[in-house]
Homo-oligomer: A and B are copies of this chain.
Amino acid sequence: MALPRSELAATLATVRFDKLATLDAAGKAALQQAARRSRRIQRKRELLTENEEIPETLLILSGWAMRIRLLEDGRRQVLGFLLPGDLVGLSYLESAVASTTVVAVTDMDICTAPHPSISPSLARGYETGRMFEETYLLAQITRLGRMNAHERITDLLLELLDRLELAGLALRGRLEIPITQELIADALGLTSVHVNRTLQALRRDGSLEGKGRDFIVSNPDALRQSIGRRTVRVMAA
């Protein structure tokens, strides 16, 4: 007897925030409450548009989104991915403007994020979430700046694995990644052709299993080791 989808999604988001800041009862209640008013978003819809007002902070209950930036000639950079439990458009300034466009990669469920003033633990969770976001941006810079194609792909997969596990969405190295090789290319500053060949090589040498968009990292620790990726600590303290 399955839970209704929105309940399930709410639980997942709560799980993640609880890890970020150990929620008190008020915080948990607020999240559950917010999730009850969830909306469905179609794939490819924009959640936020660069340079336009941010109407409200959103919480992702299910599905993936990405932050993107377009160059004038059409080149596209995927700045980062947003997963269930992530916040979209968090700002503490009234009348803030979106620094990037955010697009739904898959169909999604989202809701308005409860206001941080509701509970100090929630506020701490948001603040921790922000720090994670910064961490992901810094990791992305390092990938793009100083890693080769092989390392970039491996490192990104490991980050996604870590993040999905944190949200309770990946088990034992198995992750379903709902994005095309072209998107991976746009995230990693490569061509989709090169991503394709590199993925093949990774599968050939046993670093990866699975096919299509189904990835199995059978030995995450070994893989981390092989590219010298540090383990990311979940909690600050």
- List, in ascending order, chain B residues with CB within 8 A of A141's CB: 77, 79-80, 137, 140-141, 144
Task: Mark interface residues in A4-29 (1 if CB within 8 Å of B CB, else 0).
Answer: 00000000000000000000000000
Taking each of A78, A92, A141, A147, which has the highest tally of chain B beta carbons within 10 Å of its own beta carbon? A141
Contact A95 B237, CB 8 Å, known A146-B77, A228-B71: yes
Task: Mark interface residues in A49-89 (1 if CB within 8 Å of B CB, else 0).
Answer: 00000000000000000010101110111111000000000
Q: Is the CB of A188 within 8 A of B145?
A: yes
Chain copies in the assembled complex: 2
Q: Is the CB of A93 within 8 A of B189?
A: no
A80 to B138, CA, bound (A): 9
Contact A99 B131, CB 8 Å, known A138-B79, A146-B75: yes
* 14 A–B contacts, CB within 8 A, in A order: A67-B138, A71-B146, A71-B228, A75-B146, A76-B146, A77-B142, A79-B142, A80-B141, A96-B131, A99-B131, A99-B134, A99-B138, A144-B189, A145-B188
The contact size tier of chain A is 35 or more
Whether A165 sits at the interface, judged by CB under 8 Å, is: no
Whether A100 sits at the interface, judged by CB under 8 Å, is: yes
- List, in ascending order, chain B residues with CB within 8 A of A99's CB: 131, 134-135, 138
Q: Is the CB of B127 within 8 A of A93?
A: yes
* Contact with A71, one of B78, B79, B142 (Cβ below 8 angstroms): B142
Task: Mark interface residues in A181-195 (1 if CB within 8 Å of B CB, else 0).
Answer: 000001111000000
Say how far A59's CB is from chain B's closest CB, in angstroms.
19
Q: Is the CB of B142 within 8 A of A96?
A: no
Q: Is the CB of A236 within 8 A of B72?
A: no
